[in-house]
């Protein structure tokens, strides 16, 4: 039975910048073995989160990428920029997992050793359309002052993404040390 791909976003809490918005979780033996093999490049704002891992190889890779090594508390314990194909990185024994990101992601986000990362699952959920009146007497989704669907324009609107929180620990599956769960 094929497993559905799962994705997370990665936010640098220390620098208040995003590293990537669509990072695929590689936590099974097969997905960790494959990683980025077979791809010609990484899409901007994407990546792969390999866990558990404290080193990687790029044998068979076709492009360079950035590598962020993180510990069990999502603190950056190592960064490697522009890791080239056909290399093997040295293990960092403080690292519990690694993020493979597009080239220059570390530079753009200003990520350094010691930064605190937030890794959370991204889920887009639809909110039910409310047809009741708001306390101010306006109906949601009605044109108001020349703006269509004013209720949807703000962050909490029906078309906005919702985030499920990850429990700070390590990997989403397999080891049992990291769990991704919906709030509530």
Residue 178, pLDDT > 60, answer: no
3-class DSSP state of 33: helix
* pLDDT above 80 for 136: no
Half-sphere exposure of 24 (CA within 13 A, CB side): 16
pLDDT at 124: 62
pLDDT band at 3 (very low <50, low <70, confident <90, very high): low
* pLDDT of 155 over the 60 cut: no
CB 171 within 8 A of CB 178: yes
Confidence label for 163 from pLDDT (cuts 50, 70 and 90): very low
Average pLDDT over residues 16-33: 89
pLDDT for res 156: 40
Is residue 184 pLDDT above 80, yes or no?
no
Q: In terms of DSSP H, where are the helices of the chain?
A: 29-34, 105-109, 150-153
Q: Are 103 and 59 in contact (CB under 8 A)?
A: no
**b/e 49-73 (16+ beta carbons within 10 angstroms → b):** bbbbbbbbebeebeebbbbbbbbbe
57-112 pLDDT per residue, tens:
888 888 999 999 999 999 999 999 999 999 999 999 999 999 999 999 999 999 99
Residue 168 or 76, more confident = 76
**pLDDT band at 1, cuts 50/70/90?**
very low
Comparing 125 with 54, which gets the higher pLDDT? 54
Confidence of residue 164 (pLDDT cuts 50, 70, 90): very low
* Res. 120 pLDDT band, cuts 50 70 90: very high
Cβ atoms of 111 and 18 closer than 8 Å: no
């Amino acid at each position: 039975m094929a497993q559905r791909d799962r994705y997370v976003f990665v936010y640098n809490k220390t620098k208040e910048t995003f590293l990537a918005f669509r990072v695929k979780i590689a936590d099974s033996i097969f997905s960790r073995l494959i990683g980025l093999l077979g791809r010609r490049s990484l899409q901007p704002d994407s990546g792969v989160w390999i866990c558990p891992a404290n080193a990687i190889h790029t044998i068979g890779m076709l492009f360079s990428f950035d590598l962020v090594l993180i510990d069990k508390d999502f603190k950056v314990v190592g960064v490697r920029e522009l890791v080239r194909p056909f290399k093997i990185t040295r293990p960092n024994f403080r690292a519990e997992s690694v993020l493979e990101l597009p080239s220059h992601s570390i530079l753009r986000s200003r990520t350094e050793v010691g930064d605190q990362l937030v890794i959370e699952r991204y889920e887009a959920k639809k909110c039910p359309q409310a047809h009741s009146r708001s306390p101010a007497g306006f109906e949601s989704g009605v044109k108001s002052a020349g703006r269509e669907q004013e209720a949807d324009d703000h962050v909490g609107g029906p078309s906005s993404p919702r985030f499920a929180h990850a429990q700070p620990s390590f990997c989403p599956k397999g080891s049992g040390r990291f769990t991704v769960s919906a709030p509530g």
